[in-house]
Amino acid sequence: MIGHDVKIQNKQRHTVKKILGGALAALLLSATAQADYSNNPGAEAFIKTMVEKHNFDREWVMAVLKQAEPKQSILDAMSRPAESVMTWGRYRNIFIQDSRVSQGVEFWKAHREELARAEKETGVPASMIVGIIGVETRFGRNMGSYRVVDALATLGFDFPRRSKFFLGQLEEYMLMVREQDIEPFSLKGSYAGAMGYGQFIPSSYRAYAVDFDGDGKIDIVNNTVDAIGSVANYFKRHGWRSGEPVVASVVLKEGADHSLFNAGLKPVKTVAQLKQAGIASDQKLAPEQKATAMKLDGEKGDEYWIGLQNFYVITRYNHSAMYAMAAYQLSQLIAAEMREATES
């Protein structure tokens, strides 16, 4: 392990020369116009962690932090997530349109074999994988324009409310690029540092991304096959139950206990308990199955739903009932179009 660590440090020193050699002039020219995160009050503790805990070369870490650029637009975006200002009706219309459904069908047809293999190996339906990639990046069309380093440094050092989380993601990112032998400034993603077709944050990349095509490298940014397998693996690892339903519509009984709606994403009550409280479904569900009751403000009025275990799994991807419902409904519309295309 010592020899391996020395090789890592030697390689990092060579990378430092490339980083500083090609960019030092630009850094000097723009020094007055941008912050130097290597001099940030919180930088020394971060650098120490990378060096002492993970055996990084100090110069390499400092070089990366020197080149990371603060982005005010990222801080602005973090202050206004869509879910906090939109009704379900408006939110749904962002992600569910005829064009996105058609693009989903095209994506499914182009990757039919890989999606079928992912479903067979993980139990996660091809439709759900396609739905997630459709919501996240419109099937790879919108994977983000911010350098991941810039996003994570900006939020780690300049966004106190979630600084700890994003410095943790910056730590994970540096580990990730070392493990995958990726140039640290080459990857672009969302304003929150999420990457690739499925928009994995660095910790998710390291924990759940897989080499699904067997080429010896995990790449969810440029390799659609790895992206498909990685989304499926994420769902499997979070407890997806093959063949079980995701949501069920609700038939409200007189005197229903409305306090049970939107009480939390995790299924806690059983279907039988919800039924006793006047929240029943017109679909056949196992009475002992755990569920959660949801009320969403749709375009045509309030919608009442029961979310089951698989719905909860979708919310592990993004902790929002509206997100999970949009991804699921998109998946079902795409699946319906696929069936129609196959039958015609």
CATH classification at residue 62 = 1.10.8.350
Angle between helices 148-158 and 163-180 (to 10 degrees): 150
Evaluate whether residue 235 is within a structural domain. no
3 vs 246, more confident: 246
Report CA 34 to chain centroid distance, whole Å. Answer: 29
Distance (Å) of CA 306 to CA 35, 140, 147, 260, 327:
48, 31, 39, 11, 16
Evaluate whether residue 12 is within a structural domain. yes
Q: Express each pLDDT in 283-296 by its tens digit.
A: 999 999 999 999 99
For the chain, what is the total number of helices (H) and then of strands (E)? 17, 7
Evaluate whether residue 283 is within a structural domain. no
Evaluate whether residue 100 is within a structural domain. no
Evaluate whether residue 98 is within a structural domain. no
Q: What's this model's pTM, rounded to 2 decimal places?
A: 0.89
Report CA 194 to chain centroid distance, whole Å. Answer: 6
Res. 28 pLDDT band, cuts 50 70 90 = very low
Position 1 pLDDT exceeds 60: no
Q: Express each pLDDT in 260-279 by its tens digit.
A: 999 999 999 999 999 999 99
Res. 202 pLDDT band, cuts 50 70 90 = very high
- Residue 172: predicted pLDDT: 98
Evaluate whether residue 154 is within a structural domain. yes
Q: In this prediction, what percent of the chain has a pLDDT beyond 70?
A: 88
Q: What is the C-alpha R_g of the chain?
A: 23
Which residues, 6+ apart, have CB-to-CB distance to 300 below 8 Å?
A: 89
- Residue 23: predicted pLDDT: 45
- Residue 12: predicted pLDDT: 57
Evaluate whether residue 294 is within a structural domain. no
Q: In this prediction, what percent of the chain has a pLDDT beyond 90?
A: 85
- For the chain, the average pLDDT equals 91
Pairing of strands 188-189, 146-147: antiparallel
Evaluate whether residue 66 is within a structural domain. yes
Inter-residue contact 307 to 322 (CB < 8 Å)? no
Position 210 pLDDT exceeds 70: yes
Total domains in the chain come to 1
Q: Express each pLDDT in 124-160 by its tens digit.
A: 999 999 999 999 999 999 999 999 999 999 999 999 9
136 flagged as catalytic: yes
- Residue 6: predicted pLDDT: 41
- Residue 323: predicted pLDDT: 97
Q: Which of 59, 119, 136, 172 is catalytic?
A: 136
Least confident of 32-41, 231-240, 320-329: 32-41
- Residue 10: predicted pLDDT: 53
The range of the structural domain enclosing residue 49 comes to 2-77+147-208
